Amino acid sequence: MKTNIANTTIFTFIFCLLGNFPVKAVEPSEALKLAQQLNQAFVEVAESVSKSVVEVRVSKSAENYQMQGEQFRNSPFFDQLPEDFRKFFEQQPQQREQPNRSREPIYDGQGSGLVYRDDGIIMTNRHVVENSDKVKIVFKDGKEYDGEILGVDRESDIAVIKIDATGLKAAKIGDSSQTKAGEFAIAIGSPFGLKYSVTVGHISAKGRRVLTDQQMFDQDFIQTDASINPGNSGGPLVNIYGEVIGINTLIRGMNTGIGFAVPINLAKRISDMLIKDGKVTRAWLGVSITTLREDVELRDLAVGVEDGVVVRQFIPGGPAENSSLQLADVIISIDGNKVKTAEELKRAIRYKNAGDSIKIGLMRDGEPKEIQFETGAFPEEFTAVTRSRRIEEKPSQEPLEAELLGMRVQEISEDLAKRFMIDEEEGVIVVSVKKGSVAEEKSITPGEVVTRINSSEINSIETFKKSFENEDLKKGVLVHLKSNGSQRFEVLKDY
């Protein structure tokens, strides 16, 4: 008994003695500190950027709404949505079809947007607001404003809205050209009506081209794995510095981790045009092009150049028709900046203004050249020119003629000009094409005028024959053709 009392006394004394000394707290590791700092960075970015993010509500006519709703519900991805989300979209048309006894518009469509300028300019997606009757802009603090659509651009899917407000907190605009794959990406918006949702991911890639059921977007997109869902459209994609680097636009299926955003540099340029003019005027060269390395037929004939962009065809009415540019030229630079692919050339022209004078560096017949070129305005309603195949007719006499790999030609006469409905009075015209020949494989048709073979101008049967008499047809020759105002070339090889 005495022993137990003694032990208890000793234990109590030691406990009290130790209690007088502070126990040193375990310091978090450097890795944990870094994670905590990163976590705080995400929180600060979300809080800061959200002040410049808005919800875009739209009211559409019954016809427009029904068409849009059917397109979404017929999507193969609709059944992959969670049950609550499917109900959300299924209930909307039912609510819209109910009789509206009030004259107040029903804002039953929604997307996201951002404050582009502090004087009430809002940037969003074209597909969010197009065909809407009314637009309402809602801020995080609950303030609502009626919006006026200043302009929309289908090609880039960008739209600009004006509200009657000043002193707004404009989003901090970054530089998408400096964005790199692997960087953090933060998407903010209102997916499925869930306001101011924040998702985090990375930049997966840059320079993506996107094909949808409706169209091929002829521009670059930023790809991200930050979750983007219906309702995120028009909202910002930002970097870790809180700078907007893109406008969230598209997704590739549900829960795939593949989303796309319009680069902010392009969105800014488009928005400025819409604000100023209400429309977008794009520069163009008026040519069809291919990347030289991908042009299997021509790359073997190109001399002194390995990378560049081949001028394949002149578009009728385009600026190239009356320029110093020639078919089969290989473009290697624009204003001193190298271009190696068709996409790089398009990107270089995309940021030019219609009417700009640019310097084109090119290779022609193995010789480097530089030409000045004035860009034109891309037609608002552009329709690809197609050639109609004319019925071949036998001539009433035996004119001078020649043949090249299944393509039979004659010198242009008054009768031939009338028969094929062409304006040319001299030169060489295709009068027939053999079935199964190389010329037929290249879709050469009667009525097309041969203007050049390799570097030789063709104005008679004699020049036609001389142009390839010393050429290796197994290597191929460049045949320049003109039809219905359109100019192009084909490579004919004797396989």
Active-site annotation, residues: 127, 157, 233
Rg (C-alpha) for the chain, rounded Å, is 33
Structure tokens at 234: 């028009």
Residue 33 sits at the vertex; the CA angle it makes with 27 and 36, to the nearest 5 degrees, is 130
Check if the beta carbon of residue 234 is closer than 8 Å to that of residue 171.
Answer: no
Distance CA 55, CA 122 (A): 10
Answer whether 139's CB lies under 8 Å from 54's CB: yes
Determine the Cα–Cα distance for residues 367 and 255; give it in Å rounded to an integer.
Answer: 52
Residue 15 CB neighbour total at 10 angstroms: 9
